[in-house]
Structure 1
Amino acid sequence: MAIKRQSHKRMPSYKSFEKINTKDSSNEFIFGLQKEKCPNGTVPIRRTTKDELIQGKLSFYNQNMFESVPGVHAAEIYVTPDFSPFYKVKGTNSIYNPRLRTKVQESLAQVAPQIYGGNSATYFYSLWTTDNFDKTGCYNLQCPGFVQTHPYMFLGSRVGKVSIYGGRSIETNFTITLDRETQNWWLNLFGHDVGYYPGRLFSNLTSAERVGWGGRTFTPPNTISPQMGSGYFPDNNFVHACYFIYISIQDRGRTDFGPEKHMTEAFVDDPDCFNAEHYGDEGGNVGNTIQFGGPGGQCGN
């Protein structure tokens, strides 16, 4: 479905010079429209059913920012607030399709059948909140919030191909950047600005205090947790566990740099099920790297 662009900001005020590093240049087209294009002056919007809206609301409560939510498990690397403020976070992520055991489970990013019509494929998503998901926020474009600007990349699009353990790696470059002139937070994929979260949504987000990379899973309490990432633990082999490479942050001087190991901490609530490792700057074709994921299983509540 296409929708006509309103009079919104169509590009950030800063100049974006994103360096794209992928093993396969065709990866750029794993998201969004490929053969078909929207008419000039319009943007693609994923058609959402009433049931998907209801299920999305239920799912969205599972993304509470607090780590002690029943059924939610996390394996994440984050830069500690001691080094804030942050104005940009970036990384190149390997995309997998982790196996779920039931249709009410989720593994991010993002396999969530209950909000995609029962489909267990991998989707590109984003979500927002201003009050830890109490009264505000939603996935993708299911409520007013994110402003779509790109003519063929869009939130809620299905990933056309995924990585294979021990084989090909399908990657995407994610960047979230604050436009300090407008206070809008822009989402960029493969050097393309997909759209932004308007600064007016947030009363106190003129910078970020905590940024990071990793994954989460959800399963109903007292059930077996699904896989995260490739389904394998980090082992510093980049055709095994899911990864972010070329991770970087931006400080108040607009300097982009990869965080050193002493700047980061890991949050892993059950290391028997999942793990996350920051390897630091490994140079070469990966730069500053993390891996995360695991097989899931009996992870507790």
Structure 2
Amino acid sequence: MEKRISMLVLLILLCILSNGVNGKTKARKSEINRRLKLLNKPAVKTIKSEDGDIIACVDIYKQPAFDHPALKNHTIQMQPSFIPSTETPNGERENSRPVVSQLWKKRGSCPKGTIPIRRIRRRELLRTNGRKSPEHLKGTKKIATQDRFMHLNNTKGSILYPTPENRSTAILLTYGYNYVGASGEINVWNPRVERLPEFTTAQIWLKSGAVNNFESVEAGWTVHPAEYSDARTRFFVYWTVDGYKKTGCFDHTCYGFVQTSTEIALGGAVEPGSSSFQQQYVLPINIFMDPTTTNWWLVFHNITVGYWPGSLFFSLKHSATSVEWGGQVYSVNVRKTPHTKTAMGSGYDAEELYGFACFIGQPRVLDYSKSYKYPTFVAVWKDEYNCYSAVNYKAGNANDEATFFFGGPGQSYRCP
């Protein structure tokens, strides 16, 4: 009798647990369906790219950004009030040329009054939720696993640089002034990503605020199969107001970035890419704050793509206090053995230099003089020098400025 009662109690408990799990699953599916409906706005026209992406030409006034509570009564700024002048560099590379197209544009274009938005798939939201830190991979509540100090221009002065959890970076950094813009030409490659949901980026960051709770606007290229469902190299934008803790997302997967261009799709594949011994291609990125509106504008190869509204931010509403150029790998297997095999940059070490290693040319900052210039103070930083290296290389000609090289294969004989 007692055995039968125990079995009955066990069955009841199993039913309760099962109903709880089913309830959570249904709630999760319901939330994903709700978000998909909000993000995938009705299209005036659709374009099917040869890589399988569906590009929706959406009414510019109905884009996802305006679902953000802070943007309910936002008035679109169609063009920046000014575009800062760029300093003419010395030693410009004649055999590099910019990426000028996205893959989807081979199949059509969006009409005036609309913007191209890449359709987001259900599996992509389930895997990453559009975030840099997938919730199901958070090992702890810490944002930084360790904090270290770096020196600018080999001076005695140093700054605290946090190492974010599950990330490995190799960057050129400048810090300490009020920056209202940054630019650079990012060499385009297609590095290997070992497994989901790992990703690799080459990008520019502008940051402000506390080191472990910073605000940032970011843009560049990424290989992120979990986010985009393939291993192509894609143009991306990102932002956060709390150091990736609870806010921020890629492209249009949360509400914030206001797009104005009919020519560029956030998250769209870029081509062609660079190859060893072959032509080197670059992705020119320019991010600057409009002093009239405090909106942070993004320019991709002379195309004004759109902006992050100043109303999204607190510190960045005034200026950035640091700028970073370089690469980042996300994996739970960084700073561990065995290390991830996800590559950064081209997959070659920075010391291989031009034609092999990924580079960012002509790194520039903008201050209140409203003219771009090479930063006065810089530092090179790499979290794992045996896995992903970085070097600010200057050739023999004293008039040439340094070019920043970075990257690596991940796991190797030097990075077990």
**Pick aligned residue for 2:320 from 208, 212, 216:** 208
8 Å Cα contact 2:251-2:267 kept in structure 1: yes
Q: Which moved more, 1:121-130 or 1:215-224?
A: 215-224
Determine whether 1:267 maps to 2:343.
no
| Structure 1 residue 232: Cα displacement | 1.1
Determine whether 1:11 maps to 2:126.
no
8 Å Cα contact 2:394-2:400 kept in structure 1: no
Q: Percent identity?
A: 27
User: What amino acid sits opposite 2:379 in the alignment?
Assistant: E
8 Å Cα contact 1:71-1:300 kept in structure 2: no
Q: Counterparts of 1:265 and 1:294 in 2: how far apart (Å)?
A: 19
| Structure 1 residue 40: Cα displacement | 1.6
| Structure 1 residue 285: Cα displacement | 11
Determine whether 1:44 maps to 2:160.
no
Determine whether 1:149 maps to 2:265.
no
Equivalent positions of 1:172-191 (< 5 A) are: 172-191=283-302
CA, structure 1 residues 209+65, in 2 after alignment: closer, same or farther (shift >3 Å)? Answer: farther
| Structure 1 residue 136: Cα displacement | 1.7
**Pick aligned residue for 1:112 from 211, 219, 224:** 224
Q: Which moved more, 1:165-174 or 1:291-300?
A: 291-300
Match of 1:255 in 2: 371
**Pick aligned residue for 1:53 from 122, 125, 131:** 125
Count of paired positions: 296
Q: Counterparts of 1:38 and 1:3 in 2: how far apart (Å)?
A: 9
Q: Counterparts of 1:167 and 1:187 in 2: how far apart (Å)?
A: 29
CA, structure 1 residues 28+15, in 2 after alignment: closer, same or farther (shift >3 Å)? Answer: same
8 Å Cα contact 2:86-2:373 kept in structure 1: no
| Structure showing greater relative contact order (alpha-carbon pairs closer than 8 Å, 6 or more residues apart) | 1
Q: Counterparts of 1:208 and 1:165 in 2: how far apart (Å)?
A: 36
Instruction: Please give the per-residue CA displacement for 1:219-242, whole angstroms capped at 9, x wherever unaligned.
Output: 233553211111111237311110
8 Å Cα contact 1:148-1:154 kept in structure 2: no
Match of 2:244 in 1: 133
8 Å Cα contact 1:18-1:191 kept in structure 2: no
| Structure 1 residue 185: Cα displacement | 0.3
| Structure 1 residue 75: Cα displacement | 0.5
More strand by share: 2
CA, structure 1 residues 32+280, in 2 after alignment: closer, same or farther (shift >3 Å)? Answer: farther
Instruction: Please give the per-residue CA displacement for 1:89-109, whole angstroms capped at 9, x wherever unaligned.
Output: 111111000012223221113
Structure 1, unaligned runs of 5 or more: none
Q: Counterparts of 1:73 and 1:219 in 2: how far apart (Å)?
A: 8
Q: Counterparts of 1:32 and 1:65 in 2: how far apart (Å)?
A: 36
**Pick aligned residue for 2:183 from 75, 87, 90:** 90
Equivalent positions of 1:215-254 (< 5 A) are: 215-221=327-333, 222=336, 223-225=338-340, 226-235=342-351, 237-254=353-370
Q: Which moved more, 1:64-73 or 1:46-55?
A: 64-73
Match of 2:273 in 1: 162
In angstroms, what is the RMSD of aligned CA positions? 2.9
Secondary structure of 2:255 counterpart: coil
CA, structure 1 residues 23+191, in 2 after alignment: closer, same or farther (shift >3 Å)? Answer: farther
Q: Which runs of 4+ in 1 moved over 4 A?
A: 16-26, 62-67, 280-288, 298-301
Secondary structure of 1:200 counterpart: helix
Q: Counterparts of 2:386 and 2:372 in 1: how far apart (Å)?
A: 34
8 Å Cα contact 1:274-1:292 kept in structure 2: yes
CA, structure 1 residues 286+229, in 2 after alignment: closer, same or farther (shift >3 Å)? Answer: farther
User: What amino acid sits opposite 1:212 in the alignment?
Assistant: E
CA, structure 1 residues 45+111, in 2 after alignment: closer, same or farther (shift >3 Å)? Answer: same
8 Å Cα contact 1:248-1:288 kept in structure 2: no
More helix by share: 2
8 Å Cα contact 1:31-1:124 kept in structure 2: no
Q: Counterparts of 1:265 and 1:176 in 2: how far apart (Å)?
A: 21
Q: Which moved more, 1:17-26 or 1:125-134?
A: 17-26
User: What amino acid sits opposite 2:326 in the alignment?
Assistant: G
Q: Counterparts of 2:381 and 2:179 in 1: how far apart (Å)?
A: 19
| Structure 1 residue 49: Cα displacement | 1.3
Instruction: Please give the per-residue CA displacement for 1:70-129, whole angstroms capped at 9, x wherever unaligned.
Output: 431111110022xx1111111111100001222322111311101112x01111111111
| Structure 1 residue 270: Cα displacement | 1.0
